[in-house]
Amino acid sequence: MQNVDKIDNGKNLFQHPEYRDVLANKKQFEGAWGAIDKEKVAEIAEWTTTWDYREKNLAREAITVNPAKACQPLGAVMVALGFENCMPYVHGSHGCVAYFRSYFTRHFKEPTPCVSDSMTEDAAVFGGLTNMKDGLKNCAAVYKPDMIMVSTTCMAEVIGDDLYAFITAAKEEDGGVDLPESFPIPYAHTPSFVGSHITGYDNMMHGTMQQLTEDQKGETKERINIIPGFETYIGSLRAVKTIVEKMGADYIMLGDHSDQWDMPAGEYNMFAGGTKLEDAKDCINSKATISLQKYATPKTMKMVEKRWKQKGSTTCNPIGLKGTDEFIMKLAELTGNEIPKELKVERQRLVDAMQDSYPYMHGKKFAIWGDPDFLIGVVSFLLEMGAEPTHVLCHNAPRGWEDEMRALLDTSPAKDTLNVWAGKDLWHMRSFLFTEPVDFMIGNSYGKELMRDTGTPLIYMGFPIFDRHHLHRYSLSGYEGALNMLTQITNKVLDQLDEETKGIATTDYFFDLIR
């Protein structure tokens, strides 16, 4: 029973003896194996750690267990929230939108606006035109956005709804009351059964850029476009902007959700920050475009090259020391500006910090998973520190990624022990962690169960992160980001060292005060 002076919640309440009895007593009715045959459970648990199990696990062809990817429309919603006063609109059932909003909200601890046109069975039979006509009109009337960005769910894709025709019909029917002819409604088809959330990001960014810039081609301006990609670190967006500004470049960030998912307290406005609509339209006239995530923007960058004909457009991955160096040199090349001393000092401070802490990362084995561009960046940094990325797992690896990662790992002296796992899930990772253990894992919240099962310490990095706070506020990009990663990883190594040496009169001879 509770004691009013010290009310326990579930964490301690269920340890009270009366609860231990009730929970033990429940087992007689359960029929779960743990209740019937504990030895069998222990035996199977042990078997799941073996090479035999690993081989069976790798032979899987149909079932995915604990994936490390999500579906297209999620990425499309992220694109929309990076533009000023833009409402993401998902053509399909509202269940999906409830999921996208919850998923982002749980990660960022921020509101995530997004509407759907709530398609149900009748729409499945007759198509979603009526929903689109009413939905666009209601959305414009109620939320008064300056732009609505339409993506689709798998439902709309399976029945084959035609977005262009539907949007045109909705505008016609509205007659310009809430949706004037000029009201921008970029759209993209984002079927959930193709690719992953980064594919959806690319499709929506491509659709938006293509549609908004139509008939906007004019004189080329001394300006650079930056496309961040599926970037979940608000701090990274800001760090990149700071670098570009320090380089004295005129720029447009295409899809900047750093204010939208980092709203100040005091009052609530549904939309905050984002790329201005006039900038989005004019970006075709910038001299070049840099995408910070190659694998999240292939279609978009192809358009930049082929249609916009922007020479010098490229991809950079400004994570880690070398990645940031390359990004800055690219900016220098494009702008013709000198790299300011300030950035050089910042770089030297990072190098100094890397030299201070390298012994704790050098030779340590890491398992890491996440999106393809994130992995290229963070693995580069690990290698710069002399660490060994033993298992690099990318569930949503696009074509070409595996080769690029392999080539990167081959630059390590430990290359023969480093593995790339494209298209594998986190249940595969569990097997790898048992059969070829590592010292630390780097990954999102889904690593929590791997941490519990295998005992490998987890360094939280990536997306989604539900159970740790504020990490997304920091940067992973730029020299600042590298310093953040260095701090986070080194101190986790030190935490672990302390953990292993804290045994009183047993291991604490190594429990050093100064490290």
Partner 1 sequence: MGPESLEAKQKAAIEEVLKAYPAKAAKNRAKHLGVGSPEDESQKTCGNVRSNKKTVPGVMSQRGCAYAGSKGVVWGPVKDMVHISHGPIGCGQYSRAGRRNYYIGTTGVDTFVTMNFSSDFQEKDIVFGGDKKLAVCFEEIDALFPLNNGITVQSECPIGLIGDDINATSKVYAKKTGNTIVPVNCEGFRGVSQSLGHHIANDTVRDYVFDGNVETLGDAIEPTEYDVAIIGDYNIGGDAWSSRILLEEMGLRVTAQWSGDATLKEMAQTPKVKLNLLHCYRSMNYISRHMEKEFGIPWVEYNFFGPSQTYKSLRKIAAFFDEKIQAKCEEVIAKYEPMINAVVDKYKPRLEGKQVMLFVGGLRPRHVIGAYEDLGMEVIGTGYEFAHDDDYKRTKDEIMRSTVIYDDVNEYELEAFVKKLEPDLVASGIKEKYVFQKMGLPYRQMHSWDYSGPYHGFDGFAIFAADMDLAINSPVWGYSKAPWETEGEA
For the segment 239-278, give every residue that binds partner 1 (CB under 8 A).
263-268
Q: Can residue 36 be called a binding residue for partner 1 (CB under 8 A)?
A: yes
Among 80, 81, 86, 139, binds partner 1 (CB under 8 A): 139
Residue 184 tokens, joined: 């921008």
Helix, coil or strand: residue 422: strand
Task: Using CB under 8 A, pick the residue from 15, 50, 51, 60 that binds partner 1.
Answer: 60
Tell whether residue 71 is a contact of partner 1 (CB under 8 A): yes
Return the residue of 15, 51, 55, 65 that touches partner 1, per CB under 8 A: 65
Taking CB under 8 A as the criterion, the residue among 51, 55, 126, 138 binding partner 1 is: 138
Q: Decide whether 218 or 266 has the Cβ nearer to partner 1.
A: 266
Residue 343-382 contact track with partner 1, rule CB under 8 A, x = bound: ----------------------------------------
CB 275 within 8 A of CB 83: yes
**Interface with partner 1 includes 67 (CB under 8 A)?**
yes
Active-site residue 158, yes or no?
yes
Minimum Å gap between C-beta 260 and partner 1 is 12
Closest to 117 measured CA to CA, from 71, 83, 164, 153 = 153
Closest contact distance (angstroms) between CB of 52 and partner 1 is: 11
Total binding residues toward partner 1, as defined by CB under 8 A: 111
How many residues in the chain? 515
Applying CB under 8 A, does 162 fall inside the site for partner 1?
no
**Cβ atoms within 10 Å, residue 213:** 18
User: If binding is defined by CB under 8 A, does position 45 make contact with partner 1?
Assistant: yes
CB 458 within 8 A of CB 450: yes
Among positions 85, 127, 146, 158, the unique one binding partner 1 when judged by CB under 8 A: 158
The minimum distance between CB 235 and partner 1, in angstroms, equals 19
Residue 70 within binding range of partner 1, rule CB under 8 A: yes
* Single residue of 80, 86, 154, 321 touching partner 1 by CB under 8 A: 154
Closest separation between CB of residue 247 and partner 1, Å?
33
Q: Is residue 179 within the footprint of partner 1 (CB under 8 A)?
A: no
Q: Does 222 bind partner 1 (CB under 8 A)?
A: no
4 near partner 1 (CB under 8 A): yes
Residue 64: exposure state from Cβ atoms within 10 A (0-12, 13-18, ≥19): middle
Tell whether residue 471 is a contact of partner 1 (CB under 8 A).
Answer: no
C-alpha dihedral sign at 383, 385, 390, 392: negative
The answer to whether the beta carbons of residues 302 and 202 sit under 8 Å apart is no
Interacting residues of 41 by C-beta distance below 8 A, sequence separation 6+: 33, 34
Q: What is the 3-state secondary structure (H, E, C) of 366-377?
A: EEEECCHHHHHH
Concerning whether 125 is annotated as a catalytic residue, the answer is no
Give dist(CA 323, CA 321) in Å, integer: 6
Beta partners for residue 394, in sequence order? 422
Using the rule CB under 8 A, is 118 a contact of partner 1? yes
Residue 4 or 505: the one with the smaller Cβ distance to partner 1 is: 4
Indicate whether 50 belongs to the interface with partner 1 (CB under 8 A).
no
Task: Give alpha helix (H) positions in 153-268.
Answer: 154-159, 163-174, 197-212, 234-246
Contact between 29 and partner 1 per CB under 8 A: yes
Following DSSP, what letter does each residue of 333-373 receive, concatenated?
A: HHH-PPPPHHHHHHHHHHHHHHHHHHHHHTT-EEEEES-HH
For residue 102, give both structure tokens.
């919850």
184 is a contact residue toward partner 1 (CB under 8 A): no
- 224 and 251 Cβ atoms separated by less than 8 Å: yes
Q: Which is nearer to partner 1, 115 or 361 (CB)?
A: 115
Please state the closest distance from residue 13 (CB atom) to partner 1, in A: 6
Binding of partner 1 at residue 193 (CB under 8 A)? yes
What the block records as the tokens of 303 is 């358009």
Nearest residue to 496 via CA among 333, 366, 305, 302: 366
Binding to partner 1, residues 410-469 (CB under 8 A): 427, 430, 446, 449, 453
Q: Distances in Å between the alpha carbon of 70 and those of 104, 230, 324?
A: 12, 12, 28
To the nearest whole angstrom, how small is the minimum distance from the Cβ of residue 147 to partner 1?
14
Kindly state the smallest distance separating residue 126's Cβ from partner 1, in Å. 12
**Contact criterion met (CB below 8 Å) for 439 and 388:** no
Contact residue for partner 1 among 15, 51, 126, 141 (CB under 8 A)? 141
Of positions 76, 79, 80, 136, contacts partner 1 by CB under 8 A: 136
Q: Which stretch binds partner 1 (CB under 8 A): 51-59, 221-229, 247-255, 356-364?
A: 51-59
CA 252 to CA 270: how far, in whole Å?
A: 23
Distance CA(355)–CA(239), nearest Å, equals: 22
Q: Please tell me which residue in 79, 97, 114, 154 is annotated as part of the active site.
A: 154
Based on the shown chain and the rule CB under 8 A, indicate whether residue 123 belongs to the binding site for partner 1. Answer: yes
Please state the closest distance from residue 49 (CB atom) to partner 1, in A: 11
User: At closest approach, how far in Å is the CB of 208 from partner 1?
Assistant: 19
CB count in 10 Å sphere of residue 5: 5
Place of tokens 């500006």: 337
Give the H or E element holding residue 102: helix 94-108
Nearest CA-CA partner of 134 in 174, 168, 95: 174
**What amino acid occupies position 390?**
T
Q: Residue 103 interacts with partner 1 (CB under 8 A)?
A: yes
CB of 89 to partner 1, least distance (A): 7
Q: Is the distance from CB of 334 to CB of 249 less than 8 angstroms?
A: yes
- Amino acid identity, position 23: L
Residue 69 found at the interface with partner 1 (CB under 8 A): yes
Task: Establish if 105 lies at the interface with partner 1 (CB under 8 A).
Answer: yes
Q: Decide if residue 342 touches partner 1 (CB under 8 A).
A: no
Active site amino acids: 154, 158
